[in-house]
Amino acid sequence: MTSEVPSSRQFSGLGSPSGCRTWSGLLWVLLVGFSPSSWAQQGTQPQSIKIEGDITLGGLFPVHSRGPAGVPCGEIKREKGIHRLEAMLYALDQINSDPDLLPNITLGARILDTCSRDTYALEQSLTFVQALIQKDNSDVRCSNGEPPIIPKPERVVGVIGASGSSVSIMVANVLRLFAIPQISYASTAPELSDNSRYEFFSRVVPPDSYQAQAMVDIVKAMGWNYVSTLASEGNYGESGVDAFLQISREAGGLCIAQSIKIPREPRPGEFEKVIKRLMETSNARGVIIFANEDDIKRVLQAAKKANLTGHFLFVGSDSWGAKNSPIQDQEDVAEGAVTILPKRASIDGFDQYFTSRSLENNRRNIWFAEFWEDDFKCKLTRPGIKYDPGRRKCTGDERINRDSQYEQEGKVQFVIDAVYAMAHALHSMHLDLCAGSMGVCEKMDPVEGRMLLQYIRSVNFNGSAGTGVMFNENGDAPGRYDIFQYQLSNVSSPGYKLIGQWTNHLRLNSEEMQWSGGDRKIPESVCSFPCESGERKKMVKGVPCCWHCELCDGYQYLLDEFSCDMCPFDMRPLKNRTGCRPTPIIKLEWSSPWAIIPVFLAILGILATTGVIVTFIRFNDTPIVRASGRELSYVLLTGIFLIYLITFLMIAEPSVAVCAFRRLLLGLGMCISYAAMLTKTNRIYRIFEQGKKSVTPPKFISPTSQLIITFILISVQLLGVFIWFGVMPPHTIIDYEEQKPPNPEFARGVLKCDMSDLSLILCLSYSIVLMITCTVYAIKSRGVPETFNEAKPIGFTMYTTCIIWLAFVPIFFGTAQSTEKMFIQTTTLTVSMSLSATVSLGMLYIPKVYVIIFHPEQNVQKRKRSFKAVVQAATVTTQLSQKSSDKQNGESKIEPDRSQ
Domains contained in the chain, CATH given: 48-132+152-205+348-364+408-470 (3.40.50.2300), 535-582 (2.10.50.30), 593-729+755-858 (1.20.1070.10)
Region 341-350: mean pLDDT is 90
Tens digit of each residue's pLDDT (9 = 90 or more) over 488-543 = 876 667 889 999 999 888 999 988 898 887 888 999 998 888 888 888 988 888 78
SS3 (DSSP) at 1: coil
> What was the pLDDT predicted at 699?
75
> What was the pLDDT predicted at 72?
84
> What was the pLDDT predicted at 589?
84
Percent residues over pLDDT 70 in the chain = 85
Contact between residue 489 and residue 499 where contact means Cβ atoms under 8 Å apart: no
Nearest-CA neighbor of 465 among 354, 352, 345?
Answer: 345
Query: How far apart are alpha carbons 617 and 639 in whole angstroms?
Result: 17
* Bridge partners (DSSP) listed for residue 506: 502
Instruction: Name 225's Cβ contacts closer than 8 Å, sequence gap at least 6.
Output: 253, 254, 255, 525, 526, 527, 545
Q: Strand 286-290 relative to strand 107-113: parallel, antiparallel, unpaired?
A: unpaired
Region 609-627: mean pLDDT is 87
Contact between residue 813 and residue 605 where contact means Cβ atoms under 8 Å apart: no
Q: What's the alpha-carbon Rg for the chain, to the nearest Å? A: 57
Is 442 a residue whose pLDDT tops 70? yes
The model's pTM is: 0.57
Is 9 a residue whose pLDDT tops 70? no
Region 280-301: mean pLDDT is 92
Q: How confident is the model at residue 7 (pLDDT cuts 50, 70, 90)?
A: very low
**Average predicted confidence (pLDDT) for the chain:** 83
> What was the pLDDT predicted at 11?
32
> What was the pLDDT predicted at 245?
92
Q: Report which secondary-structure segment, H or E, holds 156.
A: strand 156-160
457 phi and psi angles, rounded to 5 deg = -70, -15
> What was the pLDDT predicted at 284?
92
Q: Strand 535-540 relative to strand 543-551: parallel, antiparallel, unpaired?
A: antiparallel
- For the chain, the 3-state helix, strand and coil shares in percent, each to the nearest 5, are 45, 15, 40
Is 17 a residue whose pLDDT tops 50? no
Tens digit of each residue's pLDDT (9 = 90 or more) over 541-579 = 878 888 889 999 889 999 988 899 999 989 999 988 889
CA distances from 765 to 490, 658, 671 (A): 88, 21, 10
Alpha helices in 490-553 (DSSP H): none
Is 6 a residue whose pLDDT tops 50? no
Rounded to 10 degrees, the C-alpha dihedral 633/637/640/641 comes to -170
Rounded to 10 degrees, the C-alpha dihedral 114/116/118/122 comes to 0
Region 47-63: mean pLDDT is 93
Query: How far apart are alpha carbons 239 and 369 in whole angstroms?
Result: 36
CA–CA–CA angle 733, 760, 741 (5° rounding): 50
- The Cβ of residue 770 has, within 10 Å, a number of other Cβ atoms equal to 25
Least confident of 253-262, 423-432, 607-616, 852-861: 852-861
Is 889 a residue whose pLDDT tops 60? no
Percent residues over pLDDT 90 in the chain = 39
Is 725 a residue whose pLDDT tops 60? yes
> What was the pLDDT predicted at 894?
38
CA–CA–CA angle 538, 544, 549 (5° rounding): 25
SS3 (DSSP) at 885: coil
Give 513-561 as a 3 state SS string.
CCCHHHCCCCCCCCCCCCCCCCEEEEEECCEEEEEEEEECCCCEEEEEC
Give 712-779 as a 3 state SS string.
HHHHHHHHHHHHHHHHCCCCEEEEEEEECCCCHHHCEEEEEECCCHHHHHHHHHHHHHHHHHHHHHHH
First to last CA, the chain: 160
Region 828-832: mean pLDDT is 85
